[in-house]
Amino acid sequence: MKEKVITIISNVTGIPKESINEDSNLLTDLNLESLDLVTLIAELESEIGKEIPDKDIKEIQTVGDIISYIEKNA
């Protein structure tokens, strides 16, 4: 799942996969803007086949948070 999430983030942001790790903060390290986040969430929802509620999105800060969320909820 880690590689899949990192690939999706790389595709959405254009950031090389080698520069993304589980500790990468979406806002401060990867400099994602709101449109990038919306696109990323849409791609992740498509990948797991279900909607991610807004309340859960607010809790996601890092790449590791995304991976943990998907593993618990997919």
**CB-based contact 63:26 (threshold 8 Å):** yes
- pLDDT tens, residue by residue, 47-72: 889 899 999 998 999 999 999 999 99
Domain boundaries, the chain: 2-73
C-alpha to C-alpha distance for 3 and 59, rounded to whole angstroms: 21
* pTM assigned to the model: 0.89
Query: Does the structure show a pLDDT above 90 at 26?
Result: yes
Query: Does the structure show a pLDDT above 80 at 74?
Result: no
* CATH code at 2-73: 1.10.1200.10
